[in-house]
Amino acid sequence: MKNIIRYIALSFVMMAALNSCHERYVTYNDAEYVMFADTLAIYPVQEHAQTFNIPVVSTVIKDYDRTFGIEVIDATSNAIESKHYSLESNTVTIKAGETRADVVVRGYFDSFEPEDSLGFTLSLVMNDALEMPLYGRQTKAVLMKTGPFNVEKFSGYCVLSSMFLQDYSSNGSYNRLVYTEPHPTMKNTIICRGWLKDGYDVEVVNASDSWGETALQGPEAEKFAVQTLGLAPAAELGFYTYYEAEWKGARMVVSRTGYTGEDGFEIYGTHEAINEIWDILLEAGVVPCGLGCRDTLRFEAGLPLYGHELSDEITPLEAGLGMFAKIKDKDFIGRDALAAQKEAGLTRKIVGIELQDKAIPRAGYPVEVNGEQVGVVTTGYRSISTDRSVCVAMVDKAYTELGTAVEIRIRKKVFPGIVTKKRFYETNYKK
């Protein structure tokens, strides 16, 4: 099992908000406005106090200086001025003959925790002596703590950085750039794609009929991706990163991701491209595997599956995923319920169980102690990779300690087991 490409499957649903690539330019259709060019931007706060520029732009040139006030809107800001950031000035001036000026912001590295994502909202205030109307008068700036970053060594990391306007009109309709990405072939180059209409409004489209996906997984996945498919940039990807490529002129996305616990890639493209890639991989000796195989692999690696280890009745805390729920500092739907559950203490928890027999524990089988049911199996197999009968189960808290003796009822018989860690096979992701 370790020496094959561990699965290939077809399916993909994506948000179709992206269109063809646009150049980074601005046109305005002769409308006279002053606005923030960035209505949302993310800035890295580094150890050496770095300044960031938030651009204010005008659609027209004037032969005199134009000064505007800058105010912080406290109600929509969680970053604290003078602690997390400071403004060099509470005004901004567009000089005569120019169309842009910058609000200069300084972030304070030592005031941030690594997990912080703190933002503040600025408002542009019109000088009464000026008659130009304001549009896009507010901007949201998000500051995130990061380590040293050298653009010369840029190799694929990218964040939302800017918004540009096109086809601007007096009725307020405009296009907003929402997506940036590394260029598929040009190193250290970022390209911009996708426009969403009318500010923050988003149209979500089920594009399953237009897109397919194949997953190339296993210790030799990189070799096949690079040598067989010619996807050379894939070798430079770290886990959970991606780049955009082309396959015979059609857009394709390659990510170093997967749901098997092995190194590998997920490739998204047109149905024609994916079918051709499938055939090429088969001809090269890659072994096709279905979703049943995928399920055993994700289970062995301790990866949860919705409807089993995750559901609308299983909280992240019970599933052992509390690290992804920032209860202390973040606000989100369900936070109060999770906070209350944490304070009260869990009554049950997802655990691993190893049987001392070759019987196969299936989802739904009862977990018992002294004839009393104390839990239920969520996923179970005779693990091919480990040659053990193992499962994960939701079990009452009193029986979740490692080494606790339990029994799995399989039909009319019970089989002894012990509580173990949920991961039965070590993952092999490329960091």
Cβ distance 5 to 288 under 8 Å? no
Q: What is the pLDDT of residue 397?
A: 95
Return the percentage of the chain with pLDDT > 70, whole number: 72
Q: What is the pTM of this model?
A: 0.54
Residue 273 pLDDT exceeds 80: yes
CA–CA separation, 53 vs 103, rounded Å? Answer: 6
Q: What is the pLDDT of residues 171-224, one digit of tens each?
A: 333 333 334 444 556 544 444 444 433 344 445 566 777 889 999 999 999 999
Predicted pLDDT of residue 352: 97
Distance of CA 165 to the CA centre of its chain: 26
Query: What's the confidence (pLDDT) of residue 113?
Result: 77
Q: Mean pLDDT, to the nearest integer, of 410-419?
A: 94
Model confidence over 128-181: pLDDT tens digits?
666 666 656 788 887 777 654 333 333 333 333 333 333 333 333 333 333 444
pLDDT in tens, 324-363: 888 887 778 788 899 999 999 999 999 999 998 899 999 9
Beta strand 138-145 pairing with 40-45: parallel
Q: How far is CA 246 from the centre of its chain?
A: 22
Go through the domains of the chain in sequence order and give each one's CATH number. Answer: 34-197 (2.60.40.1740), 212-289 (3.30.1360.120), 299-420 (2.40.30.110)
- Close Cβ partners of 96 (under 8 Å, ≥ 6 residues apart): 62, 63, 64, 65
Identify the pLDDT of residue 369: 97
Residues 6+ apart with CB under 8 A from 192: 21, 22, 24, 162, 164, 177, 179, 180, 181
3-state secondary structure the chain: CCCCCCCCCCCCCCECCCCCECCCCCCCCCCCCEEECCCEEEEEECCCCCEEEEEEEECCCCCCCEEEEEEEEHHHCCCCECCCEEECCCEEEECCCCCEEEEEEEECHHHCCCCCCEEEEEEEECCCCCCCCECCCEEEEEEEECCCCCHHHCCCCCCCCCCCCCCCCCCCCCEEEEEEEECCCCCCCEEEEEEEECCCCCCCCECCCCCEEEEEECCCHHHHHHHHCCCHHHHHCCCCCEEEEEECCEEEEEECCCCCCCCEEEEEECHHHHHHHHHHHHHCCCCCCCHHHHHHHHHHCCCCCECCCEECCECCCCCCCHHHCCCCCCCCCCHHHHHHHHHHCCCEEEEEEEECCCCCCCCCCEEEECCEEEEEEEEEEEECCCCEEEEEEEEEHHHCCCCCEEEEEECCEEEEEEEECCCCCCCCCCC
Q: Which of 196-210, 361-375, 399-413 has the lowest mean pLDDT?
A: 196-210
User: How much is the pLDDT for 405?
Assistant: 97
How far, in Å, CA of 22 to CA of 129, rounded? 37
Q: What is the pLDDT of residues 306-324, one digit of tens each?
A: 889 998 899 999 999 888 8
**pLDDT tens digits along 60-111:** 788 889 899 999 988 888 889 999 899 999 999 999 988 888 899 988 888 8
Residue 385, both tokens: 């990779």
How far apart CA 358 and CA 383 sit, in angstroms, is 10
In the prediction, which pLDDT does 19 show?
A: 26
pLDDT for 305 equals 92
pLDDT of residue 201: 45
Please state, in angstroms and rounded to a whole number, the distance separating the CA atoms of residues 139 and 32. Answer: 19
pLDDT, residue 176, reads 36
State the chain's mean pLDDT as an integer: 77
